[in-house]
Amino acid sequence: MGEGGRILIVDDDAGTRETLGDVLERAGHVVRKVTEGLAALNSLTSAAAEAAIIDLRLPDISGLDLLEAIKLSSPETEVIIITGHASMPSALQAINGAAFGYLTKPFETPHLIAMLDRALEKHRLARALRESEEQYRLVTEHISDAIFFLDLDGRLIFGNPRCTKLTGYGADEFQRTWIFSLLTPEGAVEAQARFDAARAGRGMSPPFETPLIRKDGSLVRVEADFTGVLKDGRVIGLLGVARDISERQRADQALREANQALTALVTDLEQRNREMALLSEWAISCNAAIPRRRLMA
Protein backbone atom coordinates (compact mmCIF):
# COMPACT_ATOMS: atom_id res chain seq x y z
CA MET A 1 0.00 0.00 0.00
CA GLY A 2 1.31 3.42 -0.94
CA GLU A 3 1.40 6.68 0.95
CA GLY A 4 -2.00 8.24 1.66
CA GLY A 5 -3.27 10.96 -0.64
CA ARG A 6 -6.08 13.48 -1.05
CA ILE A 7 -8.91 11.74 -2.90
CA LEU A 8 -12.12 13.15 -4.36
CA ILE A 9 -15.04 10.76 -4.91
CA VAL A 10 -17.77 11.91 -7.31
CA ASP A 11 -20.79 9.58 -7.35
CA ASP A 12 -24.51 10.21 -6.90
CA ASP A 13 -25.04 6.68 -5.56
CA ALA A 14 -24.88 7.05 -1.78
CA GLY A 15 -23.99 3.40 -1.17
CA THR A 16 -21.02 3.44 -3.56
CA ARG A 17 -19.90 6.86 -2.35
CA GLU A 18 -19.95 6.01 1.35
CA THR A 19 -18.50 2.50 0.97
CA LEU A 20 -15.61 3.77 -1.14
CA GLY A 21 -15.03 6.61 1.29
CA ASP A 22 -14.82 4.26 4.27
CA VAL A 23 -12.46 1.87 2.48
CA LEU A 24 -10.11 4.65 1.35
CA GLU A 25 -10.09 6.37 4.73
CA ARG A 26 -9.15 3.08 6.41
CA ALA A 27 -6.33 2.84 3.86
CA GLY A 28 -4.96 6.15 5.11
CA HIS A 29 -6.33 8.53 2.48
CA VAL A 30 -8.03 11.88 3.07
CA VAL A 31 -11.37 11.66 1.28
CA ARG A 32 -13.88 14.23 0.05
CA LYS A 33 -17.22 13.10 -1.36
CA VAL A 34 -19.60 14.95 -3.67
CA THR A 35 -22.60 13.90 -5.74
CA GLU A 36 -22.38 16.15 -8.82
CA GLY A 37 -19.81 17.28 -11.39
CA LEU A 38 -20.06 21.02 -10.70
CA ALA A 39 -19.64 20.38 -6.98
CA ALA A 40 -16.50 18.38 -7.82
CA LEU A 41 -15.03 21.28 -9.81
CA ASN A 42 -15.82 23.70 -6.98
CA SER A 43 -14.19 21.32 -4.54
CA LEU A 44 -11.00 21.11 -6.62
CA THR A 45 -10.92 24.89 -6.90
CA SER A 46 -11.00 25.28 -3.12
CA ALA A 47 -8.61 22.40 -2.36
CA ALA A 48 -6.50 20.33 -4.74
CA ALA A 49 -6.81 16.55 -4.94
CA GLU A 50 -4.13 14.14 -6.07
CA ALA A 51 -6.70 11.74 -7.51
CA ALA A 52 -10.42 11.67 -8.28
CA ILE A 53 -12.73 8.67 -8.64
CA ILE A 54 -15.64 9.64 -10.91
CA ASP A 55 -18.81 7.84 -11.85
CA LEU A 56 -19.45 7.91 -15.58
CA ARG A 57 -23.08 8.99 -15.08
CA LEU A 58 -23.76 12.03 -12.91
CA PRO A 59 -26.94 14.10 -12.41
CA ASP A 60 -25.63 17.31 -14.01
CA ILE A 61 -22.83 16.44 -16.45
CA SER A 62 -21.29 13.24 -17.75
CA GLY A 63 -18.22 11.80 -16.14
CA LEU A 64 -16.34 12.23 -19.43
CA ASP A 65 -17.19 15.94 -19.52
CA LEU A 66 -16.07 16.21 -15.91
CA LEU A 67 -12.82 14.42 -16.79
CA GLU A 68 -12.15 16.98 -19.52
CA ALA A 69 -12.95 19.88 -17.17
CA ILE A 70 -10.67 18.50 -14.45
CA LYS A 71 -7.78 18.09 -16.88
CA LEU A 72 -8.24 21.71 -17.93
CA SER A 73 -8.54 23.17 -14.45
CA SER A 74 -6.40 20.73 -12.44
CA PRO A 75 -4.23 18.74 -14.90
CA GLU A 76 -2.09 17.22 -12.15
CA THR A 77 -5.13 15.37 -10.68
CA GLU A 78 -5.22 11.72 -11.76
CA VAL A 79 -8.73 10.49 -12.64
CA ILE A 80 -10.20 7.00 -12.40
CA ILE A 81 -13.56 6.45 -14.12
CA ILE A 82 -15.99 3.93 -12.61
CA THR A 83 -19.24 2.87 -14.22
CA GLY A 84 -21.99 0.30 -14.19
CA HIS A 85 -22.71 1.01 -17.86
CA ALA A 86 -19.38 0.21 -19.48
CA SER A 87 -18.94 0.36 -23.24
CA MET A 88 -15.99 0.32 -25.57
CA PRO A 89 -16.62 3.88 -26.85
CA SER A 90 -16.81 5.30 -23.32
CA ALA A 91 -13.67 3.41 -22.30
CA LEU A 92 -11.79 4.76 -25.32
CA GLN A 93 -13.04 8.28 -24.63
CA ALA A 94 -11.88 8.00 -21.04
CA ILE A 95 -8.39 6.84 -22.00
CA ASN A 96 -8.10 9.44 -24.78
CA GLY A 97 -9.21 12.03 -22.24
CA ALA A 98 -6.18 11.16 -20.10
CA ALA A 99 -8.02 9.13 -17.48
CA PHE A 100 -5.61 7.02 -15.46
CA GLY A 101 -7.99 4.07 -15.28
CA TYR A 102 -11.45 2.74 -16.13
CA LEU A 103 -13.28 0.26 -13.89
CA THR A 104 -16.67 -1.38 -14.31
CA LYS A 105 -19.03 -1.96 -11.41
CA PRO A 106 -19.04 -4.14 -9.48
CA PHE A 107 -15.26 -4.16 -9.04
CA GLU A 108 -12.95 -5.76 -6.52
CA THR A 109 -11.90 -3.26 -3.84
CA PRO A 110 -8.26 -4.43 -3.84
CA HIS A 111 -8.22 -3.83 -7.59
CA LEU A 112 -9.36 -0.24 -7.10
CA ILE A 113 -6.88 0.30 -4.25
CA ALA A 114 -4.00 -1.01 -6.37
CA MET A 115 -4.99 1.23 -9.29
CA LEU A 116 -5.32 4.23 -6.98
CA ASP A 117 -1.88 3.57 -5.50
CA ARG A 118 -0.38 3.55 -8.99
CA ALA A 119 -2.21 6.78 -9.85
CA LEU A 120 -0.89 8.46 -6.70
CA GLU A 121 2.64 7.25 -7.44
CA LYS A 122 2.39 8.71 -10.94
CA HIS A 123 1.17 12.00 -9.46
CA ARG A 124 4.06 12.14 -6.99
CA LEU A 125 6.65 11.31 -9.62
CA ALA A 126 5.25 14.01 -11.91
CA ARG A 127 5.29 16.50 -9.05
CA ALA A 128 8.87 15.59 -8.13
CA LEU A 129 9.88 16.02 -11.78
CA ARG A 130 8.20 19.42 -11.96
CA GLU A 131 9.92 20.51 -8.75
CA SER A 132 13.32 19.34 -9.94
CA GLU A 133 12.77 21.05 -13.30
CA GLU A 134 11.75 24.23 -11.52
CA GLN A 135 14.83 24.08 -9.31
CA TYR A 136 17.03 23.49 -12.33
CA ARG A 137 15.35 26.36 -14.18
CA LEU A 138 15.88 28.71 -11.24
CA VAL A 139 19.54 27.75 -10.97
CA THR A 140 20.27 28.01 -14.68
CA GLU A 141 18.34 31.26 -15.11
CA HIS A 142 20.07 33.04 -12.26
CA ILE A 143 23.60 31.71 -12.62
CA SER A 144 26.03 34.16 -14.21
CA ASP A 145 27.65 31.57 -16.50
CA ALA A 146 26.24 30.37 -19.81
CA ILE A 147 25.22 26.71 -19.44
CA PHE A 148 24.33 24.65 -22.49
CA PHE A 149 23.72 21.05 -23.54
CA LEU A 150 25.08 19.61 -26.79
CA ASP A 151 24.23 16.47 -28.71
CA LEU A 152 27.07 14.21 -29.84
CA ASP A 153 27.36 16.14 -33.11
CA GLY A 154 27.95 19.42 -31.31
CA ARG A 155 24.47 20.84 -31.89
CA LEU A 156 23.00 23.02 -29.16
CA ILE A 157 19.95 21.41 -27.57
CA PHE A 158 19.42 23.67 -24.59
CA GLY A 159 20.87 26.89 -23.25
CA ASN A 160 20.03 28.99 -20.23
CA PRO A 161 19.09 32.69 -20.66
CA ARG A 162 22.72 33.68 -20.14
CA CYS A 163 23.56 31.86 -23.40
CA THR A 164 21.26 34.07 -25.44
CA LYS A 165 22.57 37.18 -23.70
CA LEU A 166 26.17 36.16 -24.31
CA THR A 167 25.73 35.21 -27.97
CA GLY A 168 23.02 37.68 -28.99
CA TYR A 169 20.92 34.88 -30.50
CA GLY A 170 17.31 34.29 -29.45
CA ALA A 171 16.34 31.03 -27.78
CA ASP A 172 14.84 29.61 -31.01
CA GLU A 173 17.89 30.62 -33.04
CA PHE A 174 20.25 29.24 -30.42
CA GLN A 175 18.82 25.73 -30.52
CA ARG A 176 20.23 23.33 -33.13
CA THR A 177 23.12 25.71 -33.83
CA TRP A 178 26.48 24.01 -34.38
CA ILE A 179 28.62 25.15 -31.47
CA PHE A 180 31.79 25.44 -33.56
CA SER A 181 30.14 27.95 -35.89
CA LEU A 182 30.16 30.41 -32.99
CA LEU A 183 33.94 30.27 -32.68
CA THR A 184 36.89 31.59 -34.66
CA PRO A 185 38.81 28.95 -36.68
CA GLU A 186 41.53 28.78 -34.01
CA GLY A 187 38.97 28.56 -31.23
CA ALA A 188 37.03 25.86 -33.09
CA VAL A 189 40.16 23.69 -33.34
CA GLU A 190 40.79 24.03 -29.60
CA ALA A 191 37.13 23.40 -28.76
CA GLN A 192 36.96 20.36 -31.06
CA ALA A 193 39.85 18.70 -29.22
CA ARG A 194 38.15 19.26 -25.84
CA PHE A 195 34.79 18.18 -27.28
CA ASP A 196 36.22 14.92 -28.65
CA ALA A 197 37.87 14.12 -25.32
CA ALA A 198 34.63 14.67 -23.39
CA ARG A 199 32.61 12.70 -25.96
CA ALA A 200 35.04 9.80 -25.58
CA GLY A 201 34.33 9.79 -21.85
CA ARG A 202 37.76 11.02 -20.77
CA GLY A 203 36.30 13.28 -18.08
CA MET A 204 36.24 17.06 -17.90
CA SER A 205 38.98 18.76 -19.86
CA PRO A 206 40.77 21.81 -18.45
CA PRO A 207 39.04 25.09 -19.33
CA PHE A 208 40.26 26.91 -22.42
CA GLU A 209 39.94 30.48 -23.60
CA THR A 210 38.61 31.43 -27.01
CA PRO A 211 36.92 34.33 -28.82
CA LEU A 212 33.19 33.77 -29.35
CA ILE A 213 31.48 35.30 -32.38
CA ARG A 214 28.25 37.03 -31.39
CA LYS A 215 25.28 37.39 -33.74
CA ASP A 216 26.25 40.98 -34.60
CA GLY A 217 29.75 39.82 -35.58
CA SER A 218 31.48 41.22 -32.53
CA LEU A 219 33.86 39.07 -30.51
CA VAL A 220 33.74 38.35 -26.82
CA ARG A 221 36.45 36.45 -24.99
CA VAL A 222 35.15 33.42 -23.05
CA GLU A 223 36.53 30.66 -20.89
CA ALA A 224 34.79 27.36 -21.65
CA ASP A 225 34.85 23.67 -20.81
CA PHE A 226 32.91 20.49 -21.69
CA THR A 227 31.99 17.40 -19.73
CA GLY A 228 30.24 14.26 -20.90
CA VAL A 229 26.73 13.45 -19.65
CA LEU A 230 26.46 9.74 -18.89
CA LYS A 231 23.47 7.40 -18.96
CA ASP A 232 23.94 3.70 -18.28
CA GLY A 233 27.67 4.23 -18.57
CA ARG A 234 27.42 5.77 -22.04
CA VAL A 235 27.96 9.41 -23.05
CA ILE A 236 24.65 10.71 -24.43
CA GLY A 237 25.55 14.38 -24.74
CA LEU A 238 27.83 17.08 -23.43
CA LEU A 239 27.30 19.78 -20.86
CA GLY A 240 29.16 23.00 -21.52
CA VAL A 241 29.88 26.09 -19.47
CA ALA A 242 31.10 29.39 -20.89
CA ARG A 243 32.12 32.44 -18.92
CA ASP A 244 32.58 35.95 -20.26
CA ILE A 245 36.10 36.95 -19.24
CA SER A 246 36.18 40.29 -21.05
CA GLU A 247 35.89 42.23 -17.81
CA ARG A 248 38.53 40.05 -16.19
CA GLN A 249 40.84 40.64 -19.12
CA ARG A 250 40.22 44.37 -18.97
CA ALA A 251 40.90 44.30 -15.23
CA ASP A 252 44.07 42.28 -15.80
CA GLN A 253 45.18 44.72 -18.50
CA ALA A 254 44.42 47.66 -16.21
CA LEU A 255 46.41 45.98 -13.44
CA ARG A 256 49.35 45.36 -15.78
CA GLU A 257 49.27 48.98 -16.92
CA ALA A 258 49.10 50.16 -13.31
CA ASN A 259 52.04 47.92 -12.40
CA GLN A 260 54.00 49.24 -15.36
CA ALA A 261 53.22 52.83 -14.36
CA LEU A 262 54.20 52.10 -10.77
CA THR A 263 57.44 50.46 -11.88
CA ALA A 264 58.23 53.48 -14.05
CA LEU A 265 57.46 55.80 -11.14
CA VAL A 266 59.70 53.83 -8.78
CA THR A 267 62.47 53.83 -11.37
CA ASP A 268 62.08 57.58 -11.80
CA LEU A 269 62.16 58.13 -8.03
CA GLU A 270 65.25 55.97 -7.68
CA GLN A 271 66.94 57.95 -10.46
CA ARG A 272 66.02 61.22 -8.75
CA ASN A 273 67.30 59.91 -5.42
CA ARG A 274 70.61 59.05 -7.05
CA GLU A 275 70.77 62.48 -8.64
CA MET A 276 69.96 64.16 -5.33
CA ALA A 277 72.60 62.09 -3.57
CA LEU A 278 75.23 63.12 -6.15
CA LEU A 279 74.18 66.76 -5.88
CA SER A 280 74.42 66.57 -2.09
CA GLU A 281 77.89 65.08 -2.29
CA TRP A 282 78.99 67.77 -4.72
CA ALA A 283 77.65 70.53 -2.42
CA ILE A 284 79.47 69.07 0.58
CA SER A 285 82.73 68.85 -1.33
CA CYS A 286 82.34 72.43 -2.49
CA ASN A 287 81.72 73.71 1.05
CA ALA A 288 84.73 71.82 2.32
CA ALA A 289 86.99 73.37 -0.30
CA ILE A 290 86.09 77.06 0.40
CA PRO A 291 87.92 77.47 3.79
CA ARG A 292 91.13 75.92 2.37
CA ARG A 293 91.13 78.42 -0.47
CA ARG A 294 90.80 81.31 2.02
CA LEU A 295 93.69 80.03 4.16
CA MET A 296 95.85 79.67 1.14
CA ALA A 297 95.03 83.25 0.17
C-alpha distances in Å from residue 91, one per residue of 7, 40, 88, 97, 104: 22, 21, 5, 10, 10
pTM of the model: 0.50
pLDDT at 44: 92
Q: From first to last of the 297 residues of the chain, give the pLDDT tens digit.
A: 557 899 999 999 999 999 999 999 998 999 999 999 999 999 999 998 999 999 999 999 999 999 999 999 888 899 999 998 878 888 888 878 788 989 988 888 888 888 999 899 888 877 776 776 666 666 666 677 888 888 989 998 888 888 888 999 888 887 778 999 999 999 999 999 999 988 888 766 678 899 999 999 999 999 998 888 887 888 888 888 898 987 665 555 655 665 676 676 667 777 777 777 777 777 777 666 655 555 455
CATH architecture of 143-248: 2-Layer Sandwich (3.30)
Task: Decide: helix, strand or coil at residue 253.
Answer: helix
Q: Which residues contact 25 (CB under 8 A, 6 or more apart)?
A: 31
pLDDT at 295: 46
Query: Domain boundaries in the chain?
Result: 6-140, 143-248
Topology of the domain comprising 6-140: Rossmann fold (3.40.50)
Task: Decide: helix, strand or coil at residue 201.
Answer: coil
Distance CA 93, CA 95 (A): 6
pLDDT at 254: 59
